[in-house]
Structure formats: structure tokens, C-alpha cells
Amino acid sequence: MAIFFDIFRRPTVQAQAELYPTLHNVIPNYLYMLRQLNVQKAQDEKPFLKAAAKAAHKILSEYYKKALTTRYSFVIIIYDPRYKLSVLAFMFNTEGGAESAAYKKGKAHFEHVYS
């Protein structure tokens, strides 16, 4: 059970910081949690953890998709020098990468704010 809840520990602690900005970590933290939940969904040893991971993944996927529809998510992640536009191409890799509609929308948001 501790393994399951540990998925959420790091992003939660990171988001509660008072001494440094945290907004740029929102999307990477969603990706981290969704990947870890995918691993838990694939394991068969503990069916109750598999069911919990499946339910948590469904909810987090919805939040993640909503977060990606905001201009702020795109701008703040691109503005962070560690991520830039390459992380958006990675995030939308399964949807066509730099050619996906979501990537182009995010890039347009960034260009609109910083042009």
C-alpha cells in the first residue's frame, strides 16, 4: 500500500513549497504520476492496488487534460529553461509530437504571450 501512496508523495511535497515557485512542475508531476499509475495498473500481484491505480489514473488523466487546455500550463512549462518546447513535443508524442494540434496550440499560446 505504501508503494501506491508514494506515487503521490513527491508531487505533493513539491507543490507545497513556500520558498520557490512550483507552477512549472505541475505538468511534469502529472506525467510522473500517470506513468507510475500505469506501472501499478499492469501488475497482477495485488488486485486491490491495480483497481486503485486504475481509478486514480482515470481521474488524474482528466485533470491532466484540463490542465493542458489552459494557456498558463503551456507558457510556464516552456518558459522554464529546463523544459522548453521539447517537453511539449515529448508530451504529445503519441498524438503526433510537434505536429499535434495540442502542441501547436501550446506553442501559439507561448508565442502570443512572449512576442
pLDDT band at 74; cut points 50, 70, 90: low
pLDDT of residue 109 exceeding 70, the answer is: yes
Task: Name the pTM for this structure.
Answer: 0.66
Dihedrals φ, ψ of 42, to 5°?
A: -85, -20
Cβ neighbours of residue 28 under 8 Å, at least 6 residues apart? 77, 83, 87
Answer yes or no: is pLDDT of 73 > 90. no
Mean pLDDT of the chain: 79
**Residue range 13-69, pLDDT digits in tens:** 888 877 766 777 777 888 889 989 989 988 878 888 899 999 999 999 998 888 777
